[in-house]
Amino acid sequence: MGVGHSSVSLSLDPISIAAFTAEPKPKPSCFFNTHCKKSVFPTKKNSLFVGFSLKFESLNCGKVAGEMDTEKGIDVANKSILDFHGIDDRLIRKMEFDALVWSSLHGLVVGDRNFQRSGQVPGVGMVHAPIALLPMSFPKSHWKQACELAPIFNELIDRVSLDGKFLQDSLSRTKKVDAFTSRLLDIHSKMLEMNKKEEIRLALHRADYMLDEKTKLLLQIELNTISSSFPGLGCLVTELHRTLLNEYGEDLGLDSKRIPSNTAVGQFSEALAKAWTEYNNPRAVALVVVQTEERNMYDQHWLCTMLKERHNVRTVRKTLAEIDREGQLLPDGTLLVDGQAIAVIYFRAGYAPTDYPSESEWRARLLMEQSSAIKCPSISYHLAGSKKIQQELAKPNMLERFLENKEDIVKLRKCFAGLWSLDDLDIIRKAIDKPELFVMKPQREGGGNNIYGNDVKETLLQLQKEGSEEDAAYILMQRIFPTVSPTILMRDGICHKEHAISELGIYSAYLRNNEKVIMNDQCGYLMRTKIASSNEGGVAAGFAVLDSIYLT
């Protein structure tokens, strides 16, 4: 049986981003140093936003308009400016001004770290999100490839999540040395003991890729199964870039129709609304689990606003500590928070150790997992997205354990970079010899945790010396080297010409109720662009800016 794509058509709406650490650790060398983390477009008549010409609905997601292949399109492509650093300074100033006004008027904003309350109170201390002034070129063939992979990965993660023994066994060594993963596994074990079944399963993923310049291979960086961020702001960046090209495209030799439309936030809200409908309690609401401070709150508010305006589903925002205080489980499994029944739990927190400063937060996570509410993600989906599982799945014959369709397996394997556990002595020797060709990753999310360059060598030598089991905390990954492009990046109202590399994230949604797959779609995208000399890539963590793509 093949993967049950409800749609693999590239005319689907593309989507947006991933998770970012609670406590970003910008490096001193990091140029972009803003907190921002992990949108939306109401269509109803009474919408607050109806005055804006945001035509997210009408955009033809994933597809570049027909003109692209016409003579005119080719002409435009031929004279396009690929080197953005060659653009006339006066034109840059005009676009910069327009971009800043547009971002302010359309909610392409994050909390400004210079304002103390900007992470707590909406409407206080906002600054435009860090963005690229113009879209990054990206080959159409690789774009299509990334979109086609989305429903296959959705199905794979679902199958993996059902194999509790595989998850526990694969992470058993990690468990001994990584307290955070160990706590997640404990909750998972409890669910296995209780024989807890998640009949309705909802996923809002983002798969991240880099295009390796030398091999021209699209290689997966990771798959985010929890807190995939920027579905809201990502869509807005796409709209901003289209707007700029509609205005200045002639001067630049660029055609706005080559930017694929992005309806990530629309499709994410649709998936959440469909899950809410499956839960079948009209009085229940969606619970958004948030961090105590969240400068990326507007990205989340876009999604919740759309859920309300398009689908009439209400949300409540609660921290893990609040859920512990106000949460209650009824005998039938219903989760009440502050007396309110919860249909769907959408996590925008809970992926990092810093989200669990005390036992209270862990109690809240367990309480939610025990309930009948639909979790996005469930503990098993969360674990299935860990880096260790990514590495296990890359082993020979592993995909065959979960998927039957041979073509799907070939497609997935093609995007796997080299991935190894640290009990592979041969690869350890190679990594010590040429550390610049590897990235060392612990079981963490949110950016700023990986080890690069000479630190790989030093950490490996140290681990060898200690001879402990600490090595099980990490995996090794082949380092990917994308093409370096001249770009213009904006932060705090100022443009900077930089040489940069990019990472493409493809959003996807998956919803099933028992045997019925209700949604399995690619849902939009998020390009993140960072200066070439930076190792890490998180926008929230201050390393990257939000971008869109220009298909070539």
Residue 242 or 479: which CB sits closer to ligand ADP? 479
Is 528 annotated in the active site? yes
Q: According to CB under 6 A, which one of 446, 475, 504, 548 is a site residue for ligand ADP?
A: 446
Would residue 201 show up in a list of annotated catalytic residues for this protein? no
Quick one: which segment of 50-58, 94-102, 326-334, 471-479 binds ligand ADP (CB under 6 A)? 471-479
Contact in structure between 259 and 550 (CB atoms under 8 Å): yes
Question: Which stretch in 243-251, 263-271, 356-364, 443-451 sits in contact with ligand ADP by CB under 6 A?
Answer: 443-451
90 is catalytic: no
* Out of 13, 112, 155, 222, the residue judged to bind ligand ADP by CB under 6 A: 222
Closer CB to ligand ADP, residue 471 or residue 503?
503
- C-alpha atoms less than 13 angstroms from C-alpha of 546 in its C-beta half-sphere: 35
479 binds ligand ADP (CB under 6 A): yes
23 is catalytic: no
DSSP 274: H
DSSP code of 78?
A: H
Question: Which residue in 222, 322, 369, 392 is the catalytic one?
Answer: 222
Q: Considering only residues 182-211, where is the footprint of ligand ADP by CB under 6 A? A: 208
Cβ–Cβ < 8 Å for 438, 478: yes
Sign, Cα dihedral of 339, 46, 129, 439: positive
Tokens 């579905």 belong to residue? 231
Question: 3-class SS at 475?
Answer: strand
Per-residue x/- track, 10-29, Mg ion (CB under 5 A): --------x-----------
Q: Annotated binding residues, as ranges?
A: 206, 222, 224, 226-229, 294-296, 300, 348-351, 387, 441-450, 452, 477-480, 503, 528, 530, 536, 539-540
> In terms of CB distance, is 343 or 531 closer to ligand ADP?
531
Q: Residue 353, SS3?
A: helix
Write phi, then psi, for 124 (nearest 5 degrees).
-115, 125
Q: Which residue is nearest to ligand ADP (CB)?
A: 537
Residue 221's nearest CA partner among 209, 239, 205, 237 is 209
Concerning whether 60 is annotated as a catalytic residue, the answer is no
Q: Output 127 or 221, the one with its CB closest to ligand ADP.
A: 221
Q: Smaller CB distance to Mg ion: residue 324 or 536?
A: 536
CA distances from 91 to 97, 133, 473 (A): 10, 12, 50
- C-alpha 330/C-alpha 378 separation (Å) is 19
Closest CB 326 distance from Mg ion, rounded Å = 32
Q: What CA–CA distances, in Å, run from 494 to 361, 488, 530? A: 39, 10, 16
Residues that constitute the known binding site for substrate: 206, 226-229, 294-296, 300, 348-351, 528, 539-540
Site for ligand ADP in 38-67 (CB under 6 A): none
> Minimal distance in Å, beta carbon 335 to ligand ADP?
28
Contact with ligand ADP (CB under 6 A) among 245, 417, 527, 545: 417
Please choose which of Mg ion, ligand ADP, none residue 155 contacts, taking the beta carbon within 5 to 8 angstroms, the exact cut-off set by kind.
none
| Element containing residue 506 per DSSP (H, E) | strand 494-513
Q: Binding site for ATP: which residues?
A: 222, 387, 441-450, 452, 477-480, 503, 530, 536
E-strand spans in 47-199? 109-111, 126-128, 131-132, 136-138
CA 380 to chain centre: 18
Could you tell me if 321 and 361 are in contact, meaning their C-beta atoms sit under 8 angstroms apart? Answer: yes
Nearest-approach distance from CB 29 to ligand ADP, in angstroms: 15
- Minimum CB–partner distance for residue 419 and ligand ADP (Å): 9
Question: Using an 8 Å Cβ cutoff, are 334 and 372 in contact?
Answer: yes
Vertex 56 angle, CA 53 and 61, to 5°: 140
**Taking CB within 5 to 8 Å according to partner kind, which of Mg ion, ligand ADP, none is near residue 536?**
ligand ADP
Binding residue ranges for Mg(2+): 222, 224, 445
In angstroms, rounded to a whole number, what is the distance separating the alpha carbons of residues 241 and 490?
13
Least Å distance, CB 452 to ligand ADP, is: 8
Residue 516 is a catalytic residue: no
Distance CA 256, CA 289 (A): 37
446 is catalytic: yes
> Of residues 439, 519, 531, 539, which one binds ligand ADP by CB under 6 A?
439
* Known catalytic residue at 224: yes
Which among 90, 124, 121, 126 has a CA at the least distance from the CA of 107? 126
Cα separation, 276 vs 282, in Å, equals 9
Active-site residue, 159 included: no
- In sequence order, the 6+-apart residues with CB closer than 8 A to the CB of 99 are 128, 131, 133, 240, 244, 490
- Residues at the contact surface with ligand ADP, assessed by CB under 6 A: 18, 208, 221-222, 417, 439, 441, 444-447, 449-450, 477-480, 503, 536-538
Which residues participate in catalysis according to the annotation? 206, 222, 224, 229, 387, 441, 445-446, 528
Which residues contact Mg ion by CB under 5 A? 18
